[in-house]
Structure 1
Amino acid sequence: MTKWDSVSLGELLVESNIPSENPDPNKRITVRLNVEGVEKRPFRKETKGATKYYVRKAGQFIYGKQNLHKGAFGIIPEELDSYESTADLPAFDINKSRVLPEWLMLVLIKDKFYEKLECIASGSATKRIHPEKLFKVKIPLPSIEEQRNILTEYNKLKNCNNKINNIIDDSKKLVSRLRQSILQEAVQGKLVPQDPNDEPASILLEKIKKEKERLIKEGKIKKEKPLPPIKDDEIPYELPKGWEWVRLENISEVIMGQSPPGDTYNDKGEGVPLINGPIEFGSDDFSKTVKIKYTTKPTKMCNEGDLLICVRGSTTGRTNIAGFDACIGRGVAAIKTKIEKKYLHYFIVFYKDIILNTSRGSTFPNITIGQLSNIIVPLPPLNEQKRIVEKVDQLMALCDELEKNIEQCKKDSELLMQSVLQEAFKEK
């Protein structure tokens, strides 16, 4: 094998600057980040003549001046031939007698070489990588025959790796379904055996009712409007003996958040912590909230351990546990339950899709206090709630371990492909 040349991209690429005579907003190209390819940009209205567009051809190399180092580059596919882009997405004819387009892509992705190109970006406000800078970058260049042979072997291994990744992705989906199945078994009374010695849920309900009556009498909580009885057509399945169907308001107090005045917000720790929505939520449904903002004029409050749920916007249905007493904004509701907290949390996570289906909103869903209060909950005896939570905790921990192993397989797969690339680029 002959020694490989080190060649500047300026010797391999020629910038294409063919102006579009009749720019078409429906024929725009965009380049995705993370080396995810070139695609048609969604249609949007434009002011005619405000921006200059250039015609691009299939097989050209194209990149985003602002985001080349973030993986915004690719080869224009046949279906986007004669589509257009601005000068911020320059395109280049490739000298295919010296370099194959696939080789050029391979060089850029090897060890994420494209990330290192950030050092050639220039500009005061917004940094860009201009073609004249890119042309000075040198790449290893074997003969066309060697490029073709290396690419053939690499693509074989890449196809195998893609199959492995598909299996890994399917495994992740299976674990997600397994979690949902565990929760379904739990709330249907099929996860742990019933104990005839457990005090039935009906007695627990009566105790909760008397406690609410006492708090109303003492003026600590307001009297709620009577809830409608649960109809037969609302009941999705038959419960085990000792369980009861109840509405959420029968076993909990639902508090809808109210945002305090904006001028009372601060990040200096003055006043009480403020939870306005998912920005203060932990990473998953069972995480605890974090302190970011505070308010000196709190409105509605939650207490440490309360179940929180987003009720407005694109994150509606997302849940967390209050890690501290806090003021809650209008995008959040707090659920103060009288039963085993984690049992109810598991049920809400299982029930999330149904909650979202009942929400309102044209663009993003919103959940009202009425919708939350009227959710019907399968209520086991208190002792069984505790057994269910213990069992679900054990099974979810096993699911966590499975997901960790799957993620490790994903990382190993990526390392394998990098090793293959390293080997491919060794001169022999």
Structure 2
Amino acid sequence: MGSLPEKLPLGWATASLEVLGIQKTTLIKPSESPETTFELWSVPAYPNDAPEMVKGKEVGSNKQSVIPEDVLLCKINPRINRVWLVGPKKDYPQIASTEWIVLRNKDIDSRFMMHRLREEKFRENLCANVSGVGGSLTRCRPQEVKKFVISLPPLNEQSRIVAKIEALQEKSNRAREALEAIPPLLEKFRQSVLASAFRGDLTAEWRAQNPDVEPASVLLEKIKKERRRLWEEAELAKMEAKGKTPKDDKWKKKYKEPEPVDKTDLPELPEGWCWASFEQCAWEITVGHVGPMKSRYVENGIPFLRCQNVRPYGYEQENLAYILEDFDEKLKKSRLYGGEILVVRSGVNVGDSCVYPTDAGQSNCSDLVITRPLTGLNPFFASLYVNSPFFKDALNLRKVGNAQPHFNVGSMKKAEIPVPSSEEQAVIVNKIQRLLDYSDNVKIRMLQANRLLDSQCQSILSKAFRGELIPQDPNDEPASVLLARIRAEREAKIGNKKGRGRRKK
């Protein structure tokens, strides 16, 4: 079993991984040397390409002893391509997780073997011979991996192949580094667009061309009247539900007008714009369910949004949870119907905002601040403002608690927002969306380029192990001679072990 070319190149041969050096390593218990520092080649450390430095007392399980130039092939979840090379020994004993299969052979170029085991066709064979129920619980079986047969070039050719692979990969790595610089630049671009929009720069020309648009001061008066009207309708509905009819208008005095915005430290706005608070522009600001949820989730039911469903500039439908209808009935205040401004209230993405789509259907949510805007405030305009650097700066000042970043309903109510006319809000949203679409297209192309680099990397490895990456040299010692030497050394070691065993008897 293995990924072999149809015809072996000149001087090449085949052998099993057992012959090529899969080791039965020595197990050790680091905890028995609690104050000793170990160089631990663990699976979690692999993405950082550097071993961990740990005290023996920090290691709770057995490990295996390794030496420089050992090739490590990860057993767990083999669909992830993890092959590592143990580096030079420094000041500490070198140990590795038992989740690695260890290959050791002084007669083979270890870097060649590392690249060989990273090749995609070898990975496919590995994934076809696993145990476990699936996903991260699968493991390749060492006894089966021993039987894998691979093609092997002469030793000198191995070194030339490694040099060529790594020279080509160096070019790919430089391209990848250039691509990695793009996401931060795109985020700076997005933030620059938002800053320009909410300073009024993005629509300065539009305002000059539309001087007769109704100013925001008039719009805010309309919002103010709508807010009071909705409150009165809600109060009348409550009284009617209790069978009561008001005798006069004294009940209307209970209405609380939101506090006006203190503009003292706020930046000057373009002509026709006004500062307002979110409380002034919303008929309700509330919060999603707060409390344990794990036991409440079901496979099908009412969609239930969480923090991961709110992303800057857009609603993320993937990974939606679901709850039963009776639980949804208990959480009426956090129901979503469409058009709400959602803001993450805690966690790593605190402050991220999106608008819940009107065509997504009724749902519910947890740990989100929910703002239900009045007619004059465009929810997309408001959500984009929440994602802007202006609001983020204010949000940092209003975080509650030190250990866990937190944003609450009170913070949202008091938060200021610059309000232009309804028409200009719509123009701003359209302009921002076009520019964000442009940045999304750049991101898509970047991801495509990354996938192309991955494909090219595998193409290089495939060509290398078909013997097509570099020419063969007829003067090289054939791999068959190398393998004969390896087999002889292996048989001699086995014979010595048996001899020592007989003497013990």
Fold shared per TM-score above 0.5: yes
1:380 matched to 2:420: yes
Change (3 A) 1:73 1:225: farther
Mapped to 2, the partners of 1:189 and 1:417 lie a distance apart of 47
Deviation digits for residues 376-410 of structure 1 (CA, Å, limit 9, x no counterpart): 21211221111111211222222222222222222
1:286 matched to 2:314: yes
Instruction: Give the structure 1 partner of residue 248 of structure 2.
Output: none
Instruction: Give the structure 2 partner of residue 210 of structure 1.
Output: 225
Change (3 A) 1:124 1:158: closer
Change (3 A) 1:244 1:44: farther
1:11 matched to 2:32: no
Are the counterparts in 2 of residues 286 and 320 from structure 1 also a CA contact under 8 Å?
yes
Instruction: Give the structure 2 partner of residue 400 of structure 1.
Output: 440
Deviation digits for residues 24-47 of structure 1 (CA, Å, limit 9, x no counterpart): 686343124987645317789758
Deviation at 1:362, TM superposition (A): 4.2
Deviation at 1:79, TM superposition (A): 6.5
Indicate the structure whose relative CO is greater, using CA pairs within 8 Å and at least 6 residues apart.
2
Instruction: Give the structure 2 partner of residue 140 of structure 1.
Output: 151
Mapped to 1, the partners of 2:54 and 2:195 lie a distance apart of 40
Instruction: Give the structure 2 partner of residue 304 of structure 1.
Output: 338
Are the counterparts in 2 of residues 307 and 335 from structure 1 also a CA contact under 8 Å?
yes
- Structure 2 gaps of 5+ residues are 1-8, 239-253, 472-505
Change (3 A) 1:225 1:137: farther
Which deviates the most, 73-82 or 246-255?
A: 73-82
Instruction: Give the structure 1 partner of residue 268 of structure 2.
Output: 238
SS at match of 2:176: helix
Mapped to 2, the partners of 1:357 and 1:30 lie a distance apart of 40
Pairs aligned (count)? 418
Mapped to 1, the partners of 2:43 and 2:399 lie a distance apart of 35
- Structure 1 gaps of 5+ residues are none
Once the two structures are superposed, the pairs formed by residues 13-28 of structure 1 within 5 Å of their partners are 13=21, 14-17=23-26, 19-20=28-29, 22=33, 27=38, 28=40
Matched residue type, 2:228: E
Are the counterparts in 2 of residues 288 and 322 from structure 1 also a CA contact under 8 Å?
no
Change (3 A) 1:172 1:137: same
Provide the alpha-carbon RMSD of the alignment.
3.3
Mapped to 1, the partners of 2:234 and 2:448 lie a distance apart of 55
Once the two structures are superposed, the pairs formed by residues 247-262 of structure 1 within 5 Å of their partners are 247-252=277-282, 253-258=284-289
Deviation digits for residues 332-373 of structure 1 (CA, Å, limit 9, x no counterpart): 222212311211121112246433563234443221111111
Mapped to 1, the partners of 2:413 and 2:54 lie a distance apart of 41
Matched residue type, 2:82: A
| Normalised TM-score (structure 2) | 0.73
Change (3 A) 1:330 1:214: same
Deviation digits for residues 240-295 of structure 1 (CA, Å, limit 9, x no counterpart): 111112222121232211359968764443xxx3424135x277631364764133
Change (3 A) 1:225 1:25: farther
* Larger helix percent: 2
* Aligned with residue 382 of structure 2, among 337, 344, 351: 344
Deviation at 1:197, TM superposition (A): 1.2
Mapped to 2, the partners of 1:344 and 1:16 lie a distance apart of 62
Are the counterparts in 2 of residues 358 and 371 from structure 1 also a CA contact under 8 Å?
yes
1:66 matched to 2:69: no
Are the counterparts in 1 of residues 289 and 365 from structure 2 also a CA contact under 8 Å?
yes
Mapped to 2, the partners of 1:390 and 1:426 lie a distance apart of 54
Matched residue type, 1:59: E
Change (3 A) 1:116 1:24: farther
Are the counterparts in 2 of residues 25 and 46 from structure 1 also a CA contact under 8 Å?
no
Matched residue type, 1:335: T
Are the counterparts in 2 of residues 310 and 316 from structure 1 also a CA contact under 8 Å?
yes
- Bigger Rg over Cα: 2
Instruction: Give the structure 1 partner of residue 247 of structure 2.
Output: none
Once the two structures are superposed, the pairs formed by residues 169-208 of structure 1 within 5 Å of their partners are 169-192=180-203, 193=205, 194=207, 195-208=210-223
Mapped to 2, the partners of 1:73 and 1:316 lie a distance apart of 37
Deviation at 1:17, TM superposition (A): 0.8
Deviation at 1:124, TM superposition (A): 7.4
Are the counterparts in 1 of residues 313 and 384 from structure 2 also a CA contact under 8 Å?
no
Are the counterparts in 1 of residues 386 and 392 from structure 2 also a CA contact under 8 Å?
no
Are the counterparts in 1 of residues 310 and 353 from structure 2 also a CA contact under 8 Å?
no
Deviation at 1:184, TM superposition (A): 1.1
**Same amino acid, percent of matched pairs:** 23
Are the counterparts in 2 of residues 248 and 375 from structure 1 also a CA contact under 8 Å?
yes
Deviation at 1:322, TM superposition (A): 2.0
Mapped to 2, the partners of 1:265 and 1:31 lie a distance apart of 32
Once the two structures are superposed, the pairs formed by residues 70-89 of structure 1 within 5 Å of their partners are 70-78=80-88, 82-89=93-100
Deviation at 1:145, TM superposition (A): 0.9
Change (3 A) 1:103 1:3: same
1:40 matched to 2:72: no
| Normalised TM-score (structure 1) | 0.85
